Structures are given as C-alpha cells and as structure tokens.
Amino acid sequence: MEANTRGTGRLPAAFLTPGSSSFMDFLADHAPQLLPGARALPEGLTIEAPHGTTIVSAVFDGGVVIAGDRRATMGNVIAQRDIEKVFPADEYSAVGIAGTAGLAVEMVRLFQLELEHYEKIEGTVLSLEGKANRLTSMIRGNLGMAMQGLAVVPMFAGYDLDLGRGRIFTYDVTGGRSEERGFAATGSGSVFARGSLKKLYRTGLTGDQAATLVVQALYDAADDDSATGGPDLARKIFPIITLITEDGLRRLSEDEVAEIAVSVTDHRRNQPDGPQAPLL
Amino acid sequence: MSTPFYVSPQQAMADRAEYARKGIARGRSVVVLTYADGIVFVAENTSRALHKVSEIYDKIAFAAVGRYNEFENLRIGGVRYADLRGYSYDRADVTARGLANVYAQTLGTIFSSTGEKPYEVELIVAEVGKGAEDDQIYRLTPDGSVVDEQNTVVVGGNADSIGTYLSQRHQVGLGLAEALKLAVESLARDPNGGSPRTLTAEQLEVAVLDRNRPQQRKFKRILGNQLSRLLSGDSSAEGEGEGGETADEAGAED
C-alpha cells in the first residue's frame, strides 16, 4: 500500500499496517506527541501541581474493593475537594491513582483505552497479569517526569477470572510492581490507612464489610494526614468506592457510600480513634 | 516492447468494479436491521473466531463481506482511527459518519489507483443513537461510494433478493427475537425459488448494538444458549445477560 497520505482523507498507511494489538505502540509509532511520558521538562525545574493522595484496597470473599478519598492538594492548599481518583479500567478491573493528578488522569485514560483496544483487535481480554504489566510500562514511561517531582503512583485492583478471586497490585515510581496480600494502601495517607487496615482486616469479609473497612481506613488516613480528605458531610462529598466481583465492576452509588460514611462518622463521635482490636 | 492496448477510463473502472463485485458475490451475506432497542447484525458464519461483525467503538459496529484479510485490515484501521480520535478529542466525537467517510476515501483511493487491485469487500458501518430516529447505517462499496441506508441493509452474495425480501417485511419497532427471525428467514431463502435452508445457531454470528445497555459500550455478541432461545422464538431471552454479561465475556468465550 502506498505511503501517503494525510490530506486526502484516506486512512494513513500506519493505520492499515499490520502491527501490534497495543494502542500505546500504535501511538508511539504514529503520534508519539500524544503519549503522556513523551514530554520532556527543562532540567532542574520543579512544578507545583495538584496531587491526589490516599487510595486503599482490600480483597474480600468473591472480589476486591478499591476506594479513594476526594482531596487534591497543591502544597498546603486544597486544590479540589471532589476529585475522582478511582477509575474503572475495564469491566473487571479498576485503577486508583495517587500522585500528580493531571498526569495520572491522562495515564488512566490511556490505560483504559489500551485494554479496550486490545480487546477489540484481538477479540479476547488480556489476563489480569497482562493488564498489570501494561500499567508497569506506562509508569516507567513517566520516570523522567517522576524524577522532577511529577510522580504517578497507581494501584490496580481487579477480579482474576482465571483464578476466581480479587487481586491487588501496587507500584512504585519506577514501575516496580508488587502483588499485595489482602489489603493495600498508597499515597501520602497510606501509612495511616495501612495501620488501620492491618488492625481491621480479616479474611472472609463480605463486600459490604469490605466497603466499611476501606471507609474506616480512609477516615484514619484523613485523621492524621492533612492531604487526605475525610468524608465531607456538609458538602456531601464522600469517598469513591468500587467493588469488583465475578459479575463485573460496580461503583457504589452516592447514597450507599453516604450511609457507610455517616455510620462510621457517628461511631467516631463516641470513639474518635475508631474500632479497637483486642490486645492479644 | 509492444504498445499497450488503449483501455478507456470507463472500461477500466467497469472492469475493476466487475472484479470486486464477483469477489463479493462468492461470499455469504450479512444482514443488518434495526429493532426496538437498536441495531442487530446477523451473518452466516461458521467460524467462532473469525468475525464478520465487530465492535469499533462505544456505539459503532462494523460488518463486512468479501476477502477476510482486506476487511480485517480495514476493521483494524477503523478501530485505530476511532480510538485515536476519542483519545485526542472526546469519546462523543467519534461518529459513524466520520468513520464511513474515512473508509469511503480509503476504498475510493484504492479503487482508482492503478497500482493497486481494488478491494473485494463491502462494508457496513452502523451507529446506534439515543432513539430509533438517531440510528445510522452506512453501506460502503469497493469503489468508495457511501449509501445512507434506512432500517435494513444486506451485503454479500444474493444481496438483492435478500434485501428485497427483508425490506418488504421489516417493521419499525420489532422485538429482538422477531427481528432475528426475519433476518434468518431472509438469509435462508433460496434465490432460485427452491425451498429455504435451515440455519442453526452454530451457523450464525449475531451481535447487537443495544441502546439500553447500561455500559458505555453498546456492542454485544449474542452467543450460545441465548441465541438458541431467541431463534426458537423464546422472547424471554431478549433482556437477559444485561449488566453481568458483557462484550468482554463474549470475546473471552470464543
């Protein structure tokens, strides 16, 4: 086929050239300027941009839950109170993002498209491992920006149809991937959220219990980390909670989350530090 | 070197059109028709893996007859076009009209370029709208013509006789089972007036663009038990599988 041909309206040759099933590979060949990591920043420059903070996730019987608070901060300023940090990646997986919000949201968009594109071209879905690995290479592509302070640290959770259980993967800025057992937290409030999860998590949770668990953990993160937002009862801004099971992905409605958030907050009035685990 | 024969442009184009038409006429047909909830695609296709009907984007699907490698090439080009466009602008900016135009330009350029053989394919690009009046169906021929079709369209061998039968019997607002039954009836007819063939679920590839699907992506393959039940006239199979069963799953079952 002739090379050509912007201008005639014909599909450019790159579109009709047999190649990989990856949308990212196609972009890299055809329109590299659209890849998130492709933009170089001047040396030594640091930019202050809104950052997203805490994401928590937990495995329960028959699935996995992933949730995020709603605060974005820029330095000591609250940049946005209702930012979304948990996104569906496809029918059986979701990605939560901590780090530079602008880059992270763009990365998620490309990641969603990457999975969908593969599925349409190949006629089958990627394995959960395959999806997790694609995310690794995207983070690695952002390493240059990460070194200048614009890091993106996602968490990936999904239902593995082959193994029949929920799984969680966390990443570091270099793209290092690790699978977590049971529960995980990432972002600035993650130390506090992880402590909370560690004390409250147990095997055999139901989906509803797991949803309550992640709200407790986010509450604890917000309690001790100024960059993490707690449930905003006055403005009715609550965490975003996504449940993924064999039936697919479901984001809890605002009313459902509000109910959990209100009951957690109510309990905290009497017990500000939350539920207590036995000493021994 | 001998002097080449003079061939008039009219004759050259007619020859190329004839060549493409013959290639297409060898294959089995694909039928596309509207029903109450969207657009249904029915193809005679015994393969579970090599599709004649596919998803392009949220509300857009693609059906084709002719040479597999050629229409597969165009299908992938279309997916890349749609995904790139949706990524650069917004998902709402990917339209069947835009895609049909790009295909038309591509097919037209190939058809009139002396260096290439014309593609032996006929395509359908369809988009499901918010309501029945917004549904769009485009048919593309190997020379790059685009035809804006209403309600029913057929491409492939015997397209004319199947198309006439179908358009005479099609009504707006058919249920899925009724629409499917009509499509299968029209595909099974013998163009020479003999008795109709019997087409089973295994010989059919069926997919819908269902405007009522809760997901952003409206394309769904109808497979296995649900297809058998619909073919046997059990209309309770129509609404099943919503929410849980998805295009992903459909792909994974192949």
Q: What is the pLDDT along chain A (280 residues), one digit of tens a residue?
A: 334 444 567 889 889 888 889 998 899 888 888 887 777 777 777 778 888 889 999 999 999 999 999 999 999 999 999 999 999 999 999 999 999 999 899 999 999 999 999 999 999 999 999 999 999 988 988 888 888 788 899 999 999 999 999 999 999 988 899 999 999 999 999 999 999 999 999 999 999 999 999 999 999 999 999 999 999 999 999 999 999 999 999 999 999 999 999 999 999 999 999 999 889 8
Sign of CA dihedral B88, B90, B91, B97: negative
Q: CB A27 to CB B116 under 8 A?
A: no
Domains identified in chain A and CATH numbers: 48-270 (3.60.20.10)
Q: Is B51 helix (H, G, I), strand (E, B) or coil?
A: coil
Give how far A100 is from chain B: nearest CA, Å. Answer: 20
Q: Are B14 and A80 in contact, with CB atoms under 8 Å apart?
A: no
The answer to whether residue B45 neighbours chain A at the CB level (below 8 Å) is no
The candidate with the shortest Cα–Cα distance to A266, out of A219, A210, A214, A222, is A219
Comparing CA positions, the residue from B223, B203, B208, B152 lying closest to residue B182 is: B152
Tokens 């988009």 -> residue: B127
Q: Could B254 and A31 be called an inter-chain contact, meaning their C-beta atoms sit closer than 8 Å?
A: no
Of A159, A151, A185, A160, the residue nearest A170 (C-alpha): A185
- Is residue A257 helix, strand or coil? helix
Helix (H) or strand (E) holding B63: strand B60-66
Label residue B243 by pLDDT band (50, 70, 90): very low
CA distance B100 to chain A (A): 11
Chain A residues whose CB is inside 8 A of the B90 CB are: none
User: Per the residue annotation, which of A8, A46, A53, A54 is the catalytic one?
Assistant: A53
Which class is B15-236 in CATH?
alpha beta
pLDDT of residue B192: 82
Closest alpha carbon to B207 in B87, B60, B12, B10: B60
In DSSP terms, which residues pair with A237 in a beta bridge? A232
Q: d(Cα A189, Cα B141) in Å, to the nearest integer?
A: 59
CA distances from B50 to B45, B65, B68, B198 (A): 8, 12, 8, 22
Residue A220's closest CA among A252, A243, A244, A198? A198
pLDDT confidence of residue A145:
82
| Rounded-to-integer distance, Cα A108 and Cα A114, Å | 10
Total-model pTM = 0.89
Is residue B242 predicted with pLDDT exceeding 60?
A: no
| DSSP 3-state of B80 | helix
* E strand map for B151-253: 152-155, 204-210, 219-222
Set of chain A residues whose Cβ sits within 8 Å of the Cβ of B215:
91
Closest CA relative to residue A126, chosen from A240, A242, A24, A243: A24
Tokens of A91: 């029918």
B112-133 pLDDT per residue, tens = 988 889 999 999 999 999 999 9
- Name the closest residue on chain B to residue A13, using Cα atoms: B77
Which chain B positions have a beta carbon within 8 Å of A116's beta carbon?
Answer: 83, 217
3-state secondary structure of B147: strand
Q: Across the interface, do A92 and B109 touch by the CB < 8 Å criterion?
A: no
Cβ-nearest to B49 among A8, A117, A123: A123
Say how many C-beta atoms besides its own lie within 10 A of residue A274's C-beta: 17
Residue B212 and residue B208: Cα distance in Å, rounded? 11
Contact (CB<8Å) A11/B86:
no
Contacts of A248 in chain B (CB under 8 A): 243-244, 246
User: A-chain residues within 8 Å CB-CB of B55?
Assistant: 120
Across the interface, whether the CB atoms of A121 and B76 are under 8 A apart is answered yes
**CA gyration radius, chain B:** 19
What is the helix (H) or strand (E) element at residue B104, kind and residue range? helix B96-112
- ipTM score of the complex? 0.88
Q: Is A53 one of the annotated active-site residues of the chain?
A: yes
A93-100/A72-74 β-pairing: unpaired
| B151 at A interface, C-beta within 8 A | no
